[in-house]
Amino acid sequence: MVYPTETLYGIGAGATNSEAVKKLTEYKNRPFGKPYSIAVTGQKMAEEFVELNETAKNLYKEFLPGPLTIVSRGKHKVATGVESENGTLGIRVPDYKLVINIVKKLGKPVTATSANASYKKRPYKISDILDNISDRQKDLIDLIIDAGELPHNEPSTVIDTTLDDPVTLRQGEIKLTDKNEVLSRSEEATQNLAKELWQKYEIHKGKRAIIFALQGEMGTGKTIFTKGLAHAMGITELVTSPTYTLENRYSIPDTRDSLYHIDTWRMENAEELKALGFEDLIKGKSVVAIEWAERVADIIREFDDEAIIVWVKIEFGKGKNERKISWGVTQ
């Protein structure tokens, strides 16, 4: 069924109906593995199909119905191929009465994907669709609801909330041989502490991998700390945030070793750290600084024997530039 929404013409198939979804995939001429978002009537119906975390609930409350697709963990109650490979599902609550009424009447969600075949023009009117598809594709459509030319609004924006799922934080289980704490009042002081820590553990370099597992909220200065480590190692290259590339490598001058600066913030699960070749870094006795280490604590701890693991926790202090920094090594 082709139907109008507040953004584009969408194509709907019963999202719980495997046969309908199969037909849709044939129509869209999509490659493997691309998921579909689904249209529901509101938060209550959404919760039958996905787990809503705090972030998602807030977004539903403030912005739906509206041109947003909100991605959450799916409950695997839709037909195969609707959820993504890793089990997430995008939900739309269109700000368009007709769609809401259709879904309400049907009692089940319909897919909310644009009605064009993949990589064709955005459909604002029915001819945008029909002029760009084959006869075979046309045969797959059972119903077209023509509301004329729609206002040329942008497609819905996709927001992924699954990154905000609570991480399995097992800090309590990490037994440290010693616990140290200082108050840093400036970026320089944080960098100096990093330098001291490097000097303390440098003796293990080349014998075992050294991991600086950095924990702390956004903006506490994990990258600043790593800059300090790099300086201490004699690295003159500019150390910048690895969030986007996930991993940056800096050669340590006059040695064959490198500092690997890793950021797990964008990673969907801890396994992705392994996919980056983390094990090889450990075997290669590298020096590694990992931001958001709490997200991958379990994997880091698998290497307790092979590596010196220095857990560093940075927290905001009372004053504007103050940071409480605590650290210790695993037993």
Partner 1 sequence: MRILAIDTSCDETAAAVTDNTKILSNIIWSQASLHAKFGGVMPSLAQRMHEERIDWVIERAINNSQLTINNLDAIAVTVGPGLSIALGVGIDRAKKLAIKYNKKLIAVNHLEGHVLSPFANCEYLVSSIKYPALGLVVSGGNTVLVRINKIGSYETLAQTEDDALGEALDKTARVLGLGYPGGAILEKMTKMGDSKKYTLPIPIVGQEERRMFTYSGLKTAMNKLVESEKPLTQEKIYDLAACFQDAAFTHLVRIVRFILTNDFPQKPSTLLVGGGVAANVQLRDRLRKLGKEFGISVYFPYAQKLTGDNAAMIGIAAYFKAQREEFTDANKVDRNPRLKLQIYYENPVWGIQSQVPPCFSLHCCPKQ
Which parts of 273-292 interact with partner 1 (CB under 8 A)?
275-277
Q: If residue 139 lies in a helix (H) or strand (E), which one and from where to where? A: helix 135-140
3-class secondary-structure state, position 251: strand
Nearer to partner 1, 172 or 319 (CB): 319
List 206, 234, 253, 284, residue binding partner 1 (CB under 8 A)? 253
* Least separation in angstroms between CB 179 and partner 1: 25
Is residue 198 a contact partner of residue 295, using CB atoms and an 8 Å limit? no
List 4, 10, 109, 328, residue binding partner 1 (CB under 8 A)? 10
* Least separation in angstroms between CB 1 and partner 1: 15
Q: Which string of x and - marks every residue 115-154 that binds partner 1 (by CB under 8 A)?
A: -x-xx--x--------------------------------
List 191, 220, 286, 330, residue binding partner 1 (CB under 8 A)? 220
Q: What residues between 22 and 81 interact with partner 1 by CB under 8 A?
A: 31-37, 54-55, 58-59, 62-63, 68-71
Contact segment (CB under 8 A) with partner 1 among 125-133, 140-148, 221-229, 306-314 equals: 221-229
Contact segment (CB under 8 A) with partner 1 among 17-25, 95-103, 157-165, 198-206 equals: 157-165
Count Cβ atoms below 10 Å from residue 171 Cβ, excluding itself: 12
Query: In a 10 Å sphere around its CB, with 0-12 CB exposed, 13-18 middle and 19+ buried, how is residue 297 labelled?
Result: buried
Residue 56 half-sphere exposure toward CB, CA atoms < 13 A: 29
Contact segment (CB under 8 A) with partner 1 among 89-97, 175-183, 289-297, 306-314 equals: 89-97
Q: If residue 197 lies in a helix (H) or strand (E), which one and from where to where? A: helix 187-201
Locate 129 and state its tokens. Answer: 């669709």
Q: What residues between 159 and 218 interact with partner 1 by CB under 8 A?
A: 159-164, 217-218
Q: Cα 26 to chain center, whole Å?
A: 29
* Least separation in angstroms between CB 331 and partner 1: 31
329 forms beta bridges with: 310
What is the 8-class DSSP label of residue 186? S
What is the 8-class DSSP label of residue 237? S
Asked if 223 touches partner 1 (CB under 8 A), the answer is yes
Nearer to partner 1, 206 or 253 (CB): 253
**Contacts of 274-279 spanning 24+ positions with Cβ under 8 A:** 274/299, 276/246, 276/247
The footprint of partner 1 on this chain (CB under 8 A) covers a number of residues equal to 74
Among candidates 284, 282, 235, 241, which has minimal Cα distance to 264? 241
Asked if 322 touches partner 1 (CB under 8 A), the answer is no
Longest distance between any two alpha carbons in the chain, whole Å: 73
Nearer to partner 1, 38 or 307 (CB): 38
